[in-house]
Homo-oligomer: A and B are copies of this chain.
Amino acid sequence: MFDVFAKYLTDKITLSEPELTQISSVSVIRKLRRRQYLLQEGDVWRHYAFVCKGCLRIYRIDEEGNEHILKFCIENWWAGDRESLLTGKPSRCFIDAIEESTVLLITKENFNSLCNEIPVFGGLVNELLDRTYIASQERIHVNITYTSEEKYKDFIEKYPDISTRVPLHMIASYLGISAETLSRIRSQNSKK
């Protein structure tokens, strides 16, 4: 499974064999069955995690026990709870696998070493963070601006690959609307 990560990296940056070996040596592959947790609320998240295969979700549970999905992570995406990672505080999130999945884990310490020792790697990570931040600003904009229907359209446009493999009620949770409302939006759209 390391080859998936290697391909992801070498598609974007040039790495020597020793560098790839170095990255490989600190990478740990972890398989997850459906519904299996990668992180539970209260635990401290200490890794960087790259999804080689499958689909995860990051979510929080409110006082009434309702789940609210912050993010879906499919192949070639990064997963994790950056807040817990950076602050060292217990996470408020759960991460679990929606499908049988494989993730590649690198501890924070090893990851930082890689960033320092392999500058192009560090550069890639910074670029990724930039893009992630921009995407989160965009999501805030969508959230405060769009109607439920527009939010759904925007979602399937931005994430066509996710919208086909994730249950509807999870998309509703991600968008912050009820599953019933989303079901009705979808059926109305298909009539047009």
Contacts and interface: CB of A to CB of B under 8 A. Distances in A.
A21 B87 CA distance: 32
A138 B139 CA distance: 12
Main secondary structure of the interface of A (DSSP, over half): helix
A28 interface: no
Given A129-B129, A129-B133, A133-B132, A144 B68 contact: yes
A46 interface: no
A140 B175 CA distance: 10
A141 B82 contact: no
A153 interface: no
Contacts of A141: 60, 68, 70
Given A82-B134, A140-B140, 19 more contacts: A60-B141, A62-B145, A69-B144, A70-B137, A70-B141, A70-B144, A82-B130, A82-B133, A82-B137, A83-B134, A83-B138, A86-B130, A86-B134, A129-B133, A136-B140, A139-B140, A143-B143, A143-B144, A144-B175
